Amino acid sequence: MKARTLLAISAACMLSAVMTITAAPARGQDPKPMPPQAKKLAATDMDFVNRAAHAGVMEVELAQMAIKTSKTPALVSAANKIKPDHEAAHKQLMALAAKKAHTPTALTAAEKTQGHGKLASLKGADFDKEWVAMMIKGHNEAIDLFTSASSSADPDIAAFATKTLLTLKEHLKTVQALSVAQ
């Protein structure tokens, strides 16, 4: 009986030692490293995600206004291209934010109104001219924002920004051409 008990205790001690050795992290390492996709975003990346989300929502709303209001075929065509591109980018951005455990701040009602309040009261050529000016300004600001984010230390943020930058530059060329045509 003593031999069995001693054998059981020895086996338990050996198993405990093996488990401790294999489970112990190497010196200086985090005992439970988080997978890269679960790490929190840096403050600059959170700011980028928030600002990019706001800009994307505004671009979609402005494109919808142009589709409903403008009578200029080229402008409506540009808006019909811009709207789905920004919706797709926004969807990708929201997936990326979720992957990084970040929920972007929502636009306030005042921010939404500020973005298109003046535009809502315009018609015809006045609407078209103001819409094009807003789109040029918005896309220039977005290009600056995404250019900065393309050098983020977070590879997912940098990749998203770099990829989206190409579309933003294409949109800018399109609306600049509309400006020249007016």
The answer, yes or no, to whether residue 26 has pLDDT greater than 60, is no
When pLDDT is averaged across residues 31-48 and rounded to a whole number, the result is 71
The answer, yes or no, to whether residue 87 has pLDDT greater than 80, is yes
What six digits make up the tokens of 11?
């086996």
Q: State how far the Cα of 90 lies from the Cα of 95, in Å rounded to an integer.
A: 9
pTM across the whole model: 0.75
Q: State how far the Cα of 136 lies from the Cα of 104, in Å rounded to an integer.
A: 24
